[in-house]
Structure 1
Amino acid sequence: MTIWYTADTHFGHENIMRFCKRPFKSASQMDAALLENMWKVVGTEDQLWILGDFAFSSRAKDSAYVEQIFNQLPGAERHLVVGNHDLKPTLELPWDSISHLVELLDGPGNQPNTLCHYPMITWNHVRKGGLQFFGHVHDSWRGSRNSVNIGVDVWDFMPVTFADIARRAKNLPPNKHWGDVEYRAKLNT
């Protein structure tokens, strides 16, 4: 079993193509490409974690539409980490879990990593190598050395694994505020 991560799919959202320069002619074409890319890598025994903004626009309010998209998702388990655009009926789909924040064991030694729709500056296990995965910012920021954007807009519209994320993290700059928050955190321990 492999764990796959993605964020900010925005199924059904016509305007996201203009906002993020997505290379699709319509939301239907985008939806089909996102699903096809998921099916290329996510196996039938795998987990798929979507870190927010599953669907957006008037189509996201259509129960039949979001259910039809959900039923096409690959994997044995499908999990949602809630984003700012995840409302009814997305929250009513039969996800294996729905959370706002998750610590998930993955990577070498099953390190605990923090999953949240939003980028964070610090989190539990950060000083022990735990990474933070986020979306929300689309293509405006890839993240920092320990907090990585896993959204479709910066990963060629593909889900990614821990190994992909860790590889990218090594090439990202340190967060310029890391010393501010972690210095104070060390004083309080």
Structure 2
Amino acid sequence: MTVWYTADTHFGHENIIPFCDRPFRSVSHMDSALIENMWKVVKPEDTLWIIGDFAFGPAAKDVAWLEMIFGQLPGAKNHLVVGNHDGELTQLLPWDSVTQLTEVEDNGKSNVLCHYPMITWNGARKGALQIFGHVHNNWLGSRNAVNAGVDVWDYMPVTLADLERRARKLPINKHWVDVEQRAAAD
């Protein structure tokens, strides 16, 4: 079983295409491409974490449409970490869990998932990654906090190994010493 992460899918959100310069002809093209990309990697026994902003726009107010999109998600378990665009109808879908922030055990490591990038979190001094979305293609993250959004991962879900590989190439957050002085000295 593999654990997959993604964020900011914005299913049904026409305006996200020009806003983030997404390469799709229409919202239906985007929605089908995102689902297809998930199915390319997420196997039936896998777990998928959506780290916020599952759907947005007029379509996200239609229960039948939301259920139709949700019903196409691959994997044995699907979890939602609530983002700023995840309304009550999205949160009421039959997710395996719905949280604002969570710690996920993956490959022997406990990492923190929150839709919003944070400056510090539980386990940060011990190497726990913070996996986030929200900022779309504006910021990849830093050495210990990585953006899992579709806009910076070719519209595909990613694994912890992918996130860790990218994190090693990112700069240390310039504010890290402001909040974790002891960690910087260790």
Task: Please indicate, yes or no, whether the TM-score normalized by the shorter chain is above 0.5.
Answer: yes
Query: In structure 2, what is the equivalent of residue 26 of structure 1?
Result: 26
Query: In structure 1, what is the equivalent of residue 152 of structure 2?
Result: 154
Secondary structure, counterpart of 1:168 in structure 2: helix
Following TM superposition, the consecutive aligned residue runs of length 4 or more in structure 1 with deviations greater than 3 angstroms are none
Q: Deviations over 1:18-60 (max 9, x none)?
A: 0000000100000000000000000000000000000000111
Give the distance between the partners of 1:118 and 1:184, measured in 2 at CA.
24
Give the distance between the partners of 2:16 and 2:143, measured in 1 at CA.
27
Structure 2, unmatched stretches of 5+, are none
Give the distance between the partners of 2:174 and 2:97, measured in 1 at CA.
34
Alignment check: 8 A CA contact 1:132 1:148 kept:
yes
- One of 98, 122, 125 as aligned partner of 1:124: 122
Alignment check: 8 A CA contact 2:125 2:183 kept:
no
Task: Tell me how large the CA RMSD over aligned residues is.
Answer: 1.3
- The normalised TM-score by structure 1 is 0.96
Identity in percent: 68
| Deviation of the 1:116 alpha carbon | 0.3
Query: In structure 1, what is the equivalent of residue 170 of structure 2?
Result: 172
Alignment check: 8 A CA contact 1:12 1:27 kept:
yes
| Deviation of the 1:185 alpha carbon | 7.8
Query: In structure 2, what is the equivalent of residue 163 of structure 1?
Result: 161
Query: In structure 2, what is the equivalent of residue 36 of structure 1?
Result: 36
Secondary structure, counterpart of 2:131 in structure 1: strand
Structure 1, unmatched stretches of 5+, are none
Secondary structure, counterpart of 2:10 in structure 1: coil
Secondary structure, counterpart of 1:89 in structure 2: helix
